[in-house]
A = this chain, B = another copy of it.
């Protein structure tokens, strides 16, 4: 599997946490990945309909960025050649543990957030299995394209 390639000028430093934030450190990129993993969304219009009401231009720019960095890929469907389908790559799927931890931090610490029972209960039992189950679920959702 190829690595995410950042030109040296785009790095603020070589610290891995900093590099990850060079790619994902904004309010929207991880939400698009959430839409793909938690809600199995795959098209521009599906992302647009999320509760957070992302603007069209921001969505387009974030999808392009995630594609350029190799976290997602874009393809046409067999059924409708006009509709682009966005899919997480292996590199994108590796974000699942970060997404889960961020979600659990919020469930524990932020007032008025919704709990996600299926995640909370499995998280306490077996974190590794939760990650692996979510990955399998996501990949299975791609079968009907």
Contacts and interface: CB of A to CB of B under 8 A. Distances in A.
A24 B106 CA distance: 11
Contacts of A21: 27-28, 30-31, 102
B18 A31 contact: yes
Interface residues of A, number: 55
Number of copies: 2
Interface string A10-22: 0111111111111
A144 interface: no
Interface of A: 3-6, 8, 11-28, 30-31, 34, 38, 50-53, 91, 94-95, 97-116, 127
Given A11-B112, A21-B27, 14 more contacts: A6-B112, A14-B112, A16-B114, A16-B115, A17-B102, A17-B103, A18-B52, A19-B110, A20-B103, A20-B105, A21-B102, A25-B26, A94-B109, A98-B102
